[in-house]
Structure 1
Amino acid sequence: MQVAEHMTPSAIVHYQMADDATPQILIDPNGEIDTRIDPAYEPATIELHDARDSADISFASHGMQFVSDPTAVAAFDADRSFRDVYDPEVKTLIKRVSGAQEVVIFDHTVRVDSDTVRRPARHVHGDYSAQSGPARLREVLGDETAAEWSKGHYGIVNVWRPIAYPVETAPLAFADPTAVVAEDWTNVDIIYPDRRGQITGLKRNDAHRWVYMSAMTPEEAVVFTTFDSRGTPAVAHSAVDLTVTPENAKPRQSIETRALVRFA
């Protein structure tokens, strides 16, 4: 069943619980390998605004930008051989969209909406906090180079695109940052057996405005901010579950690429 064109689609998102003062994600707790325990989330039904109808959304104004950007990569295989072609494409895209002078790609994650592969993240979050952003800079670049970058303006961006076919389930949606206030955010600790990480979670606020791109294709991508050294908030995002989906919809497949960016 297709959503009628005149209707605004709706979806379910999962916010961080407002009364959870110390939210934690536990990875492999007590030696239980391949186990993840999430904090409680607050589900909410939201309206989705289609970026195809919004010409004013840009990286400069909203920290995110949807683009037409076909890739020459035929398949994103597990051996990561695609990086020889894809990394230069992504670097060029990031520089064009964000104005960054230097780009260092450090991570690719392929997700499939299936129990057998890493699934899309269905909780509203930002990828880094005020603590974990600089920590990732040091981990990737080393102390000396990180110290040099820290003298200026740097950030972390994510480039997300569908792969294989257009998105029919679990599209990636974004909380319009112009409608998010600082009090909506909370830090979320990720507890591993041998270390700790930290992301940010977003608490429910009915003033939030949610944006996505309908039927996004592998020839399209979205570039968005996940950390900024000058304090520009990350763009909160989540896979969402549409309340109406096509019959026999194929599970979403996507790749996300994270990169450190250095501005002039």
Structure 2
Amino acid sequence: MNSRESQLKAFDRLLTIMDELREKCPWDQKQTMESLRPLTIEETYELGDAILDKDLTEVKKELGDVLLHIVFYAKIGSETNDFDIADVLNSLCEKLIYRHPHIYGDVQVKDEKQVKENWEKLKLKEGKKSVLEGVPKSLPALVKANRIQDKVAGVGFDWEHPEQVFEKLKEELSELQEEVEKQDKDAMEGEFGDVLFSMINYARFLKIDPENALERTNKKFIKRFNYLEQKASEMGKSLGEMTLSEMDVFWEEAKNI
């Protein structure tokens, strides 16, 4: 591993390159915070993919891309005299120190749960009107539901046992089935949302990340479906020309590869 001196030197090198690109590169000169935003979101998802794939070489690369965007935003902020990278870093350091009184103060905590509860209480003291204020509006719905539940649990609004959540899930499934029988589309959508919300809550109690779990299933399905397509091609057929029974044979084979 590199020494702290080498790490700081590398960061200084990045800042110098960012200055030069902003001064000399037509593309970099043109960028704004608004134009960078969708690219930053894309880079974050690419980092997430690399993490799920457990590809550490790719994780290192994608971390660099995300860091570049952070430095880029700070550079733009410095040009309008609003903030620079030092302001970003110092603000972050002060926040971390303030929100970890069990490390930098005399607060005692017994476990990770208490740390999270203190974190949310401190954020409210900072002026936030709601615990949910920090949940980004543009988060995908599944991720947002998970964050909402995590946030409210941090201030004690939560079930006590996984069994209670499972009972709630069964209740929501029953309510969904009632609306399905009535064929009320709007009510069905509402109850389906309640089922998903309960499923995500149950995943949290089982200490399963629902986003990771669903993406794992997505990857599994894609792999099996690609095998099915390959076998159909080897038979000189398209999937549309195969019966469900024929496809099911290859689908079962795909489960064992």
Give the TM-score of the pair, scaled to structure 2: 0.23
More strand by share: 1
Higher-Rg structure is: 2
Higher relative contact order (CA 8 A, sep 6+): 1
More helix by share: 2
